[in-house]
C-alpha cells in the first residue's frame, strides 16, 4: 500500500466526488480513479459505492477513512519533526553546569530556550566542575557545558558569555562585614576557605588575584562544595573570594562585599568541536543571545546571599 494511494483515497472519502478530489490533489480524474481501483484490488475489498449520481463509502471504506487520516497525520507530523531537527529547532540537549551556575545562569537559559525553541528539551546535569564537564563533553555524555575557562585539552570549543567580578564573602560578625568595599590587600593576614579540588578555576583565579596584590592566601580550610564553604565562612573559620554570582545563593550569617582589585572570572559555554548536531549550535546561539552584553556587565551588588548553595 502506497502513501499516495492513501492520500488519494482520503481525498475521495472526504469529498465523495472524484472530480472534486482530483482538483484538490491536482491530478487527472482518470488517474485518480485508477489509483483507487488499485487500492481496492490490493486490499481485495470495495471501499466506495459508485453510481452515476453519487459516491459513498462502504463500511470498509468508513474504517479506512479514519485510519488513513490518522496515518497521514502521523506521517506529516513525522516529516515536520524531521525538518525541525535538521534545522536545529527540536530535540534534546544535555547541559552541564557548575553548582553556582545552576542558580545564577540556568533560569535565564531555561527561559530563553523555552521561549525561542519550544520544541527543545533541556536535560540538566548540575554540580559539575569544569574538568568534569570537559570529560563529559569528550565522552559524549553532555552536549553543552556552562563552565569556567580555561578548559584543558583539545577538541573543545569555548565561548565566553559572562564575566563576573570576584567578591569577598565573610561572616556577618567579621571586622570587614560593615565595609561596603574592601581592598584585596586587606585580606593579607586572613585565613582563607577554598575549594578542595586541584582543578578549581575559582581557586586559580583567587591565587592569581592575590599574587597580583603581593601575597599568597593563607589556606586554612578546604571545602568540597559551596554549601560547605559558606558554612565554614559563617562559622568564622576564614574568608572566601568567590564569583559574584554567589549572590544568587543563600547562607545564614554570611555577607558579600565588593573587592576593588580582585579582577574577574569568566563563564563560558563549551561544546565538542566536531559535534555536527545543528541543535547544539542553535541552542548555544540562543543562550549567548540571552546574555547579550553580559560579558561586559558587572553583577549588581547586594548585602546578603539569596538562594540555596551548590558546588562551583
Tell me the DSSP string of the chain.
--HHHHHHHHHHHHHS-HHHHHHHHTS-HHHHHHHHHHHHHHHTS--EEE-SS-EEE-HHHHHHHHHHHHHHHHHHHHHHHHHHHHTT-SEEEEEEE-HHHHHHTHHHHHHHHHHH-TTEEEEEE-S--HHHHHHHHHHTS-SEEEE-S---SSSEEEEEEEEEEEEEEEETTSTTTT-SEE-GGGGTTSEEEEES-TT-HHHHHHHHHHHHTT---EEEEEESSHHHHHHHHHTTS-BEEEEGGGGGSB-TTEEEEEESS--EEEEEEEEETT---HHHHHHHHHHHHHHGGGGG-PPPP-SB--SB----
- Does CATH number 3.40.190.10 belong to domain 91-162+265-291? yes
Q: Which pLDDT score is estimated for 193?
A: 97
* CATH H-level, domain 164-264: superfamily: Periplasmic binding protein-like II (3.40.190.10)
Q: Which pLDDT score is estimated for 226?
A: 86
Side-chain-facing half-sphere of 109: CA atoms under 13 Å = 28
Cβ neighbours of residue 144 closer than 8 Å, sequence gap 6 or more: 93, 94, 95, 96, 269, 270, 271, 280, 283, 284, 287
Distance CA(163)–CA(296), nearest Å, equals 6
Q: Which pLDDT score is estimated for 294?
A: 46
Predicted confidence pLDDT, tens digits, the chain (312 residues): 888 899 998 999 999 999 898 999 899 999 999 999 999 999 999 999 988 788 999 999 899 999 999 998 888 888 777 777 776 677 899 999 987 888 889 999 999 999 999 989 999 998 888 888 999 999 999 999 999 998 877 899 999 999 999 999 999 999 999 999 999 999 999 999 999 888 888 999 999 999 999 999 999 999 988 889 999 999 999 999 999 999 988 778 999 999 999 999 999 999 999 998 999 999 999 999 999 844 444 333 333 333 333 344
Q: Which pLDDT score is estimated for 15?
A: 92
Q: Is 125 exposed, middle or buried (0-12, 13-18, 19+ CB in 10 A)?
A: middle
Which residues share a beta bridge with 147? 268
CATH class belonging to 3-86 = mainly alpha
Longest dimension (CA), the chain: 103
* Domain extents in the chain: 3-86, 91-162+265-291, 164-264
Q: Which pLDDT score is estimated for 203?
A: 93
Amino acid at each position: 500500500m502506497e502513501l499516495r494511494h492513501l492520500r488519494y483515497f482520503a481525498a475521495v472519502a472526504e469529498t465523495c466526488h472524484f472530480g472534486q478530489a482530483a482538483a484538490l490533489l491536482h491530478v487527472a480524474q482518470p488517474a485518480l480513479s485508477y489509483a483507487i481501483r488499485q487500492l481496492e484490488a490490493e486490499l481485495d475489498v470495495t471501499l466506495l459505492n459508485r453510481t452515476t449520481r453519487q459516491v459513498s463509502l462502504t463500511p470498509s471504506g468508513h474504517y479506512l477513512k479514519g485510519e488513513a487520516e490518522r496515518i497521514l497525520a502521523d506521517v506529516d507530523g513525522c516529516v515536520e519533526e524531521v525538518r525541525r531537527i535538521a534545522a536545529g529547532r527540536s530535540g534534546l540537549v544535555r547541559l552541564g553546569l557548575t553548582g553556582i551556575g545552576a542558580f545564577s545562569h540556568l533560569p535565564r537559559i531555561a527561559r530563553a530556550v523555552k521561549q525561542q525553541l519550544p520544541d527543545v528539551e533541556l536535560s540538566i546535569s548540575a554540580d559539575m566542575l569544569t574538568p568534569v564537564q570537559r570529560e563529559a563533553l569528550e565522552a559524549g555524555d553532555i552536549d553543552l557545558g556552562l563552565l569556567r575557562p580555561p578548559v584543558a585539552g583539545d577538541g573543545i570549543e569555548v565561548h565566553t558569555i559572562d564575566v563576573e567580578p570576584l567578591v569577598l564573602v565573610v561572616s556577618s560578625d567579621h571586622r570587614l562585614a560593615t565595609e561596603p568595599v574592601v581592598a584585596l590587600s586587606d585580606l593579607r593576614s586572613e585565613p582563607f576557605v577554598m575549594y578542595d579540588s586541584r582543578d578549581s578555576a575559582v581557586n586559580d583565579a583567587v591565587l592569581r588575584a592575590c599574587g597580583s596584590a603581593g601575597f599568597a592566601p593563607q589556606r586554612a580550610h578546604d571545602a568540597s562544595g559551596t554549601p560547605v564553604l559558606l558554612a565554614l565562612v559563617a562559622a568564622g573559620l576564614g574568608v572566601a573570594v568567590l564569583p559574584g554570582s554567589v549572590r544568587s545563593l543563600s547562607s545564614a550569617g554570611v555577607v558579600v562585599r565588593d573587592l576593588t582589585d580582585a579582577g574577574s572570572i569568566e563563564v563560558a559555554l563549551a561544546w565538542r568541536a566536531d559535534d555536527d548536531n545543528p541543535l547544539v549550535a542553535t541552542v548555544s546561539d540562543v543562550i549567548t543571545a540571552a546574555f547579550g552584553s553580559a560579558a561586559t556587565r558587572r553583577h549588581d551588588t547586594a548585602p546578603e546571599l539569596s538562594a540555596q548553595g551548590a558546588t562551583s
